[in-house]
């Protein structure tokens, strides 16, 4: 895997975008997944149209090949969700769809975790394979005349997989020899991309903190009739997780954001969920302080249109899907 920076173009480590460019690598995660939805044939839509006295040409209809609520299938989809959440939790957004930035120092731990996910996914696929005949029999009963044996692969093998790679986001070094002028233009383009990546990271951190603070503040604030609202322990735990992730991934580009994170952390430091349930005064105090943080965060949120850079992704066909930003 190539480094994100090039030795021929030294970077100023004091500038947030250039510092990010020096310490980060691009990482991409994509899935191979059995698509269990199929469009109905023209004849099937015609039959539905006749039954409903509707013009079949105006109908769009589809079917699920299997019951996605089946335990074996739900384990697969839950695992896919966990993988996507993990990928996003240890990375920062980047301007290219399906690509995020990871600290180079965190790559080994990332690879280790992803290999573990691969093993879990293989096991979950094997569990679905063991129940495959039962799943198809259930689908035959549920779908009736819409059941088509040709829709089903002969076996469940290799239909569910996760892969990852570390694509280069830097101009190739050989371009420097071939055309220094184009190489310089590409370097400038990459620099602009990392400037935008810093802005994306800021807005992501601001948006997430605003959401967490707003939720906890709302739960701690009494209702119109003075009734106390319930809240889960996760309202505090999610904030604690955010603080740890912010310390690890913060690009140190916004002093106001740094101060707000520290302020929010001080407000809830040492406060247990049960303390907030038992102590009305503490509950009101924390709610008031968090409301002030929330007001500042709301003013920092910017609705900026994303500049989308579309590139073909290797191996991106109907069975492969990126988990997105």
Reported as a pLDDT band with limits 50, 70 and 90, residue 97 is very high
Flag whether 178 is in a domain.
no
pLDDT at 311: 37
Q: Which helix (H) or strand (E) holds 25?
A: strand 24-32
Cα–Cα distance for residue pair 320/325, rounded to 1 Å: 16
pLDDT at 302: 65
Residues 109 and 211 in one domain: no
Residues 157 and 239 in one domain: no
Which of 103-117, 259-273, 302-316 bottoms out in mean pLDDT, i.e. has the lowest?
302-316
Residues 22 and 163 in one domain: yes
The string of pLDDT tens digits covering residues 236-272 is: 999 999 999 999 999 999 999 999 999 999 999 999 9
Reported as a pLDDT band with limits 50, 70 and 90, residue 3 is very low
Residues 224 and 101 in one domain: no
Cα–Cα distance for residue pair 216/273, rounded to 1 Å: 11
Question: Cα torsion at 171, 105, 95, 93 (round to 10°)?
Answer: 180
Residues 157 and 246 in one domain: no
Flag whether 38 is in a domain.
yes
Residue 306 has pLDDT above 60, yes or no: no
Residue 7 has pLDDT above 90, yes or no: no
Reported as a pLDDT band with limits 50, 70 and 90, residue 4 is very low
Boundary (domain end) residue, out of 169, 184, 218:
169
Flag whether 177 is in a domain.
no
Residues 229 and 125 in one domain: no
Q: How many helices (H) and strands (E) does the chain have?
A: 11, 7
Residues 158 and 208 in one domain: no
Flag whether 3 is in a domain.
no
Boundary (domain end) residue, out of 128, 150, 169:
169
Flag whether 305 is in a domain.
no
pLDDT at 164: 98
Give CB contacts under 8 A, 24+ apart, made by 238-243: 238/212, 239/212, 239/213, 239/264, 239/268, 240/268, 242/208, 242/209, 242/212
Flag whether 307 is in a domain.
no
Across the chain, mean pLDDT equals 89
Residues 107 and 225 in one domain: no
Q: Which helix (H) or strand (E) holds 44?
A: helix 42-52
- Counting the structural domains of the chain, the total is 2
DSSP code of residue 104:
G
Alpha helices per DSSP H over 131-272: 132-143, 174-178, 180-220, 234-249, 255-268
Residues 6+ apart with CB under 8 A from 73: 66, 67, 128, 135
Cα–Cα distance for residue pair 268/286, rounded to 1 Å: 7
Q: Which domain holds residue 157?
A: 16-169
Residues 93 and 29 in one domain: yes
Angle between helices 234-249 and 255-268 (to 10 degrees): 150
Residues 61 and 138 in one domain: yes
Boundary (domain end) residue, out of 169, 192, 221:
169
Residue 42's alpha-carbon distances to 57, 59, 61, 153, in angstroms, are 9, 10, 10, 22
pLDDT at 146: 93
DSSP string computed for 275-318: HHHH-HHHHHHHHHHHHHHHHHHHHH---PPP-------TT-ST
Residues 165 and 273 in one domain: no
Residues 153 and 217 in one domain: no
Is residue 160 within 8 Å of residue 79, measured between CB atoms?
no
């Amino acid at each position: 895997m190539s480094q994100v920076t090039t030795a021929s173009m030294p970077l100023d480590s004091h500038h947030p975008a250039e510092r990010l460019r020096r310490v980060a690598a691009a990482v991409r995660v994509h899935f191979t997944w059995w698509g269990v939805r199929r469009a109905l044939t023209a004849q099937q839509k015609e039959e539905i149209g006749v039954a409903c006295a509707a013009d079949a040409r105006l109908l769009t209809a589809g079917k699920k090949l299997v019951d996605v609520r089946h335990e074996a299938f739900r384990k697969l989809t839950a695992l896919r969700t966990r993988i996507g959440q993990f990928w996003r939790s240890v990375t920062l957004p980047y301007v290219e769809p399906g690509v995020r930035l990871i600290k180079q120092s965190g790559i080994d731990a990332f690879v280790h975790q992803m290999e573990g996910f691969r093993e879990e996914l293989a096991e979950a696929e094997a569990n679905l394979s063991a129940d495959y005949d039962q799943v198809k029999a259930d689908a035959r009963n549920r779908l009736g005349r819409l059941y088509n044996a040709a829709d089903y692969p002969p076996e469940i093998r290799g239909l569910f997989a996760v892969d990852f790679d570390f694509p280069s986001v830097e101009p190739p070094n050989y371009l420097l020899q071939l055309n220094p002028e184009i190489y310089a233009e590409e370097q400038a383009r990459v620099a602009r991309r990392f400037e935008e990546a810093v802005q994306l990271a800021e807005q992501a951190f601001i948006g997430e903190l605003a959401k967490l603070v707003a939720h906890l503040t709302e739960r701690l604030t009494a209702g119109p009739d003075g009734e106390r609202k319930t809240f889960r322990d996760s309202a505090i735990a999610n904030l604690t997780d955010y603080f740890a992730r912010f310390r690890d991934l913060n690009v140190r580009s916004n002093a106001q954001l740094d101060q707000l994170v520290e302020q929010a952390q001080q407000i809830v430091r040492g406060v247990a969920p049960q303390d907030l349930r038992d102590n009305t005064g503490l509950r009101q105090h924390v709610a008031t302080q968090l409301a002030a943080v929330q007001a500042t965060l709301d003013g920092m949120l910017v609705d900026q249109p994303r500049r989308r850079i579309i590139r073909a992704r290797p191996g991106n066909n109907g069975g492969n899907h990126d988990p997105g930003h």
